[in-house]
Amino acid sequence: ETGVTQSPTHLIKTRGQQVTLRCSSQSGHNTVSWYQQALGQGPQFIFQYYREEENGRGNFPPRFSGLQFPNYSSELNVNALELDDSALYLCASSLVGGAGYTFGSGTRLTVV
């Protein structure tokens, strides 16, 4: 059973740039969620995808967008990066109706 893998592990971007983060779901999972975790805080829900459609969104602006592919892998895109976007971005996969989420180790994004 493979887990959730995220790439890259670390990334440095300049304010105003765009970034794409990638996630491969755990085998058999059909739902993927993305979270942002600032230093010292719990993860904050960004959005969730099921069957390639967004089916839930947290309090994040439209410049945060995503995609889910037929093989259940996913991307998180952030446009017009701001300094406050510096955080650990976590991807989690699950089965609809399942009890648990499996998280990746995250991508550490630094915006300078």
Partner 1 sequence: DAKTTQPNSMESNEEEPVHLPCNHSTISGTDYIHWYRQLPSQGPEYVIHGLTSNVNNRMASLAIAEDRKSSTLILHRATLRDAAVYYCILRDHYSGNTPLVFGKGTRLSVIA
Contact footprint for partner 1 (CB under 8 A):
4, 31, 33, 35, 40-45, 48, 50, 55-56, 58, 90-92, 94, 96-97, 99-106
Q: In terms of CB distance, is 17 or 41 closer to partner 1?
A: 41
Q: Which residues of 65-102 are buried (b: 16+ CB within 10 A; e: fewer)?
A: bbebeeebbbbbebeebeeebbbbbbbbbbeeeeeebb
Q: Tell me the two tokens of residue 33.
A: 């969620």
Q: In terms of CB distance, is 8 or 16 closer to partner 1?
A: 8
Distance in Å, CB of 35 to partner 1, minimum? 8
